[in-house]
Every structure is written in C-alpha cells, then in structure tokens.
Amino acid sequence: MVTRRRFVITLGGAVVAVATQAARGQQGAETPGATMEGDGYIPVRRPPRAGAAKRLTPLERDAVERMLSCPCPCTLDVFTCRTSMPCGFSPRLHADVVKLVDGGYSADEILAAFEQAYGEKILMAPHKQGFNWVGWLAPFAAVGGGAFAAGALIRRWGRRAAERRMAASPVPIEASDDEMARLEAAIRSDDP
C-alpha cells in the first residue's frame, strides 16, 4: 500500500536524482579540452559564393547564433555567451557566422557547416528525427504519466477515506416513536 507520505518522499527523491543527473550531463557536454580561453576552437570556413548577397539580417544572424551552443563550459548559446561572458570561443564563432552570412549562406547552411565541424552537440536542440524523438517526447510523456498516476492515487485515497467515513458513521435506525420510547425505557430500567 502506498501512503501519501511514502509517495511524496519517493517523488522528491526522484526529482533530486533527475536534477543531479541532468547537472552531471551538462558538465560533460562541453568540448573535450575546451576552456573559457577557447582551447579546442575549430574554424568554420566556407568560400564565399560568387556574386551572392547577404541572405540574413543582423537579427536573423543573431537568431542563428542562439541556435548554436558555445563549446565553452558555460553551456549557453553563442549569442548569449558572446554578449555576457568573457569567453574565448564565442567571439571566434561569431566571426565565423558573420563571414558565412557575408558569403551569402542561409541559416540552414550555416547551421549545417557548424554541425559538420563540431558535430550535433554544437546545436542547442537536437534534430527531431530518429532516437532524438525520445528527447523531445519523453518530458511530455513523463509529465502526462505522472499526472495520470497522481490522479489515480488521489482517487484511490479519496475512495478509501470515504469508505472509512461510512464505516465510522452511525447507521440510522428506522423505528417509530413508540418503539424508541420502549427501547429507552428498557435501557434506563435496572431490570435485567
């Protein structure tokens, strides 16, 4: 039998375990040998397209940078890292993005070039294909399953509480006033 206290304790332990595992996973997600100084930087270069004009505005370029994960230990996107941290990676990655934009490349082509150089880990979000669907769907499935389990437990506890109240409440007696008077007289009399 699962009590409310046991359920809350188990749920709390699971949340702590998941948070700890997620923190450990983020620490290991950085590029091997990468430091804030930019060790491990891989240049992303493509020859400019002949006669190509810029395809992206500065805002669109910044949006591309928000889709790229900075390889330094900060785990932020390139735009945020570049504008808020003293990092050796993000200014160089920004320069690569600017050169690719000036070379006439689209956002998808720029992301593909970075993915080719660094692998899928450079992307802030994995592609929605193959096994990565688990990463996209698992949080929703976990929340839905948890809500279903919590609802089932609450209904079960509610039914048990109602059963206990029914068992503890007195059963109404259906008797006439004359019968009740005789019963009271029998109880109050000292005759055995």
- Per DSSP, the residues of the chain read ---HHHHHHHHHHHHHHHHHHHHHHHHTTSPTT--TT-TT------PPPTTPPP-S-HHHHHHHHHTBB-SSTT--BHHHHHHHS--SSHHHHHHHHHHHHHTT--HHHHHHHHHHHH-GGGBSS--SSTTHHHHHHHHHHHHHHHHHHHHHHHHHHHHHHHHHHHHHSPPPP---HHHHHHHHHHHHS---
Residue 147, pLDDT > 90, answer yes
Residue 38, pLDDT > 60, answer no
What is the chain's mean pLDDT, rounded? 82
For residue 29, what pLDDT is reported?
42
pLDDT digits (tens, 9 = 90+) for 52-96: 788 889 999 999 999 998 888 888 898 998 888 778 888 889 999
Q: Indicate the pLDDT class of residue 19, thresholds 50, 70 and 90.
A: low
pLDDT digits (tens, 9 = 90+) for 2-18: 677 777 777 777 776 77
Predicted model pTM: 0.53
